[in-house]
Amino acid sequence: MRVSVILAHPDPGSFNHALARRAALVLEENGHAVIFHDLYTEHFDPILTAGEMARAAALPAEVEAHCREIAAAEGLVIVHPNWWGQLPAILKGWIDRVLRPEVAYRFLEDDAGQGVPVGLLKAKSALVFNTSNTPAEREIFVFGDPLETLWKNCILGLCGVAMVERRMFQVVVTSTLEERQDWLAEVGEMVGRLFPADGR
């Protein structure tokens, strides 16, 4: 199985990087082909230009490559921090530029864009791993956990990904080494369960 791993955190020493590496390692151990993108290391340009907005626009080679990869992926793993209840800007820009019409979704022929799109992604399963420095109770009861709605309902669900599991690790800033090791083990378990070894 081809699985795309998308990482969005600027610090190479971050726990997000550790999460993404663990996910990729388990995927590889289970025999999957991993396409790994560290958006910050790659200096992915998040700016969607007016020239790219048309459905049949000629895309820069980098964006075209990302579009081909995400269209061919049979599974997705996305790792990013919770910043202001949102994605890092670089990841939002990746979504804007890569999850585009005729790659990730399309509107029906008689739909001018006001309706619900038809998802086109081949991937039917996705894992989203987030980190936060907000306690879970406050995240849910004060903020309403906006990332849950964003990923499941507003992005991946609309692009045809039926199974979306998300895990927020918190509070990272005060976590112990033992807690982080347990979280990494949990990532391995979740990845292994959703993307088991071929033939299982």
Residue 61 banded pLDDT, cuts 50, 70, 90: very high
Domain boundaries, the chain: 2-194
Q: How far apart are CA 78 and CA 26, in angstroms?
A: 14
What average pLDDT is seen over the chain?
A: 92
3-state secondary structure of 171: coil
Write down the pLDDT at residue 38. 98
Residue 146: is its pLDDT beyond 80?
A: yes
> pTM higher than 0.85, yes or no?
yes
Tokens of 159: 């692009």
Under 8 Å between Cβ of 167 and 78: no
Strands 125-132 and 105-106: unpaired
The CATH class, in words, for 2-194 is alpha beta
92-139 tens-digit pLDDT:
999 999 999 999 999 887 766 677 789 999 999 999 999 988 766 766
Write down the pLDDT at residue 127. 98
Q: Is 81 exposed, middle or buried (CB count within 10 Å of its CB: 0-12, 13-18, 19+)?
A: buried
Print burial letters for 180-194: b (CB count within 10 Å at least 16), e (below 16). eeebbeebeebbbeb
Write down the pLDDT at residue 143. 60
